[in-house]
C-alpha cells in the first residue's frame, strides 16, 4: 500500500552515518569523573567485594589507577579517604597529614594531569559513621547530627583539602548552610577561585550500600534520613539545588542517578550552572552482578544508562565505569 506521509521518522534512521549525525545527546570523556578510594597504609590494592573491578589503594599504589585512567583519557578524579583511625568528630578529615590530604598532595606532585576533586564528608572519619557531629545521648538514647556545629568542621575540612591541593571541593554531607559556610571559609583563606560542586539533591538511598562497604562508612546506629533527602520528594530536590546555588555552589549534583532522572531533568531545566549526576555504587554493582550472571550485556547496558543520564540533562557524570565509557565513546558505540 502507498500512503502519502509528509513525515516519516524512519527516514533518519536508515543507516549509522545518518543516525550518528542526528543524535541529540553527545557524550565526551571530558564530562566523566572517576571515584577513587584511598586507604591509609602501604602496598594496598585490594578489590572491593561488593564492587568487582573497583579497588582501594594506598597512596603509594595510586599510580596503578592513575596510569590506567590517563591511558583511557579520563583525567578527573573524585578522592575518597579511608583513614587509619576514626573518632567522634572525624578529626582525620582535616589533619594536614590525613589520608585525603596526603593523596591530594601525592597526585599534585606525581600526576599533575589528574584533576583533583575532593569529596568532603565526615562519615568515613567518624567512629559513629554519621556525616557530622552528634548531639544527644548517643547509641542507646536519642541522637541527631548537630547541623550548625557540623558546619564549622566542614569549613575546616574544606580549607585543609584546599591547602592539600584540591581543585574542586565537593561537599556530600547534606547539612543546611554548608555551601555558605564552606564558601566563606575558603574565601577567607584566599581560595576565592576554588569551585564548589555540591551534592545538592542527595537522596537517602539504598543504592549507596556497596560504597559503605567500600569506604567502611555505614552508620554504626540509626540512618541518614534526618539529613539526606526522602526519595518521595521532587520539589525539595529542586529547592536544595537552588539554595546551594544561592549560597555559592558552582556546580550542583543529583545523586543517585538512575532512579532520579526526573530530578536531573527538573534541576537542569531550572538552574544556570552545570549539573552533575553521580551514578552510585549500587548502580554499578547491579549491572556487574547481572552481567556476571549472563543476564545482560554489560557494555550495552552501561552505554544505554549513561546516555539516559545525559539525556535527562546532566552535563557531568561521576561513574565507576568512566574508563570503559571513554573507550566506548572512542569506538563510536555512543556519543
Active site residues: 202, 255
Spatial distance between the Cα atoms of 303 and 297, rounded to a whole number of angstroms:
10
211 binds ligand PBG (CB under 6 A): yes
* Of the candidates 90, 104, 218, the residue with the CA atom closest to the CA atom of residue 156: 90
Judged by CB under 6 A, the stretch of 91-99, 186-194, 204-212, 308-316 that binds ligand PBG is 204-212
55 binds ligand PBG (CB under 6 A): no
* Of the candidates 154, 78, 156, the residue with the CA atom closest to the CA atom of residue 119: 78
Q: For 123-160, b where at least 16 C-beta lie within 10 A, e where not — what string?
A: bbbbebbbbbbbeeeeeeeebebebeebbebbbbbbbb
Nearer Cβ to ligand PBG (123/252): 123
Nearer Cβ to ligand PBG (278/335): 278
Shortest CB 73 distance to ligand PBG, Å: 22
Nearer Cβ to ligand PBG (174/194): 174
Residues 116/177, Cβ–Cβ less than 8 Å: no
Shortest CB 323 distance to ligand PBG, Å: 16
Shortest CB 322 distance to ligand PBG, Å: 12
Single residue of 34, 111, 208, 321 touching ligand PBG by CB under 6 A: 208
Spatial distance between the Cα atoms of 258 and 278, rounded to a whole number of angstroms:
9
305 binds ligand PBG (CB under 6 A): no
240 binds ligand PBG (CB under 6 A): no
Which residue is associated with the grid cell 573497583? 54
Q: Give burial (CB, 10 Å; 0-12/13-18/19+) of 82.
A: buried
Spatial distance between the Cα atoms of 184 and 309, rounded to a whole number of angstroms:
32
DSSP string, 68-80: HHHHHT--EEEEE
Binding mask 268-287 for ligand PBG (x = CB under 6 A): ------------xx------
125 binds ligand PBG (CB under 6 A): no
Shortest CB 157 distance to ligand PBG, Å: 12
DSSP 3-state helix, strand, coil percentages of the chain (rounded to 5)?
40, 20, 40
316 binds ligand PBG (CB under 6 A): no
Per CB under 6 A, residues contacting ligand PBG are 119, 121, 123, 131, 172, 208, 211-212, 280-281
Amino acid at each position: 500500500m502507498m500512503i502519502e506521509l509528509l513525515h516519516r521518522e524512519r527516514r533518519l534512521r536508515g543507516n549509522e552515518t545518518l543516525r550518528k549525525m542526528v543524535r541529540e545527546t553527545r557524550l565526551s570523556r571530558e564530562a566523566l569523573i572517576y571515584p577513587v578510594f584511598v586507604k591509609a597504609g602501604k602496598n594496598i590494592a585490594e578489590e572491593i567485594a561488593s564492587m568487582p573491578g573497583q579497588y582501594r589503594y594506598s597512596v603509594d599504589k595510586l599510580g596503578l589507577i592513575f596510569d590506567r585512567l590517563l591511558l583511557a583519557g579520563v583525567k578527573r578524579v573524585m578522592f575518597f579517604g579511608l583513614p587509619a583511625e576514626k573518632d567522634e568528630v572525624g578529626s582525620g578529615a582535616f589533619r594536614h597529614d590525613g589520608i585525603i590530604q596526603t593523596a591530594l598532595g601525592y597526585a599534585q606532585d606525581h600526576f599533575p594531569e589528574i584533576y583533583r576533586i575532593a569529596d568532603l564528608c565526615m562519615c568515613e572519619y567518624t567512629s559513629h559513621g554519621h556525616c557530622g557531629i552528634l548531639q544527644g545521648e548517643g547509641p542507646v538514647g536519642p541522637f541527631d547530627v548537630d547541623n550548625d556545629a557540623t558546619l564549622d568542621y566542614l569549613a575546616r575540612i574544606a580549607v585543609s583539602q584546599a591547602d592539600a591541593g584540591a581543585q574542586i571541593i565537593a561537599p556530600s554531607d547534606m547539612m543546611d548552610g554548608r555551601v555558605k559556610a564552606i564558601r566563606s571559609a575558603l574565601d577567607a583563606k584566599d581560595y576565592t577561585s576554588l569551585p564548589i560542586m555540591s551534592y545538592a539533591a542527595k537522596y537517602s538511598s539504598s543504592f549507596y550500600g556497596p560504597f559503605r562497604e567500600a569506604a567502611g562508612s555505614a552508620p554504626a546506629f540509626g540512618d541518614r534520613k534526618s539529613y539526606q533527602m526522602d526519595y518521595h520528594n521532587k520539589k525539595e530536590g529542586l529547592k536544595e539545588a537552588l539554595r546551594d546555588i544561592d549560597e555559592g555552589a558552582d556546580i550542583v549534583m543529583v545523586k543517585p542517578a538512575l532512579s532520579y532522572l526526573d530530578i536531573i531533568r527538573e534541576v537542569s531545566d531550572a538552574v544556570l550552572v552545570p549539573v552533575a549526576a553521580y551514578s552510585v555504587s549500587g548502580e554499578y554493582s547491579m549491572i556487574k552482578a547481572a552481567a556476571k550472571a549472563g543476564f545482560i550485556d554489560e557494555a550495552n547496558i552501561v552505554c544505554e544508562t549513561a546516555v539516559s543520564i545525559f539525556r535527562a540533562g546532566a552535563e557531568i557524570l561521576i561513574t565507576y565505569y568512566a574508563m570503559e565509557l571513554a573507550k566506548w565513546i572512542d569506538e563510536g558505540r555512543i556519543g
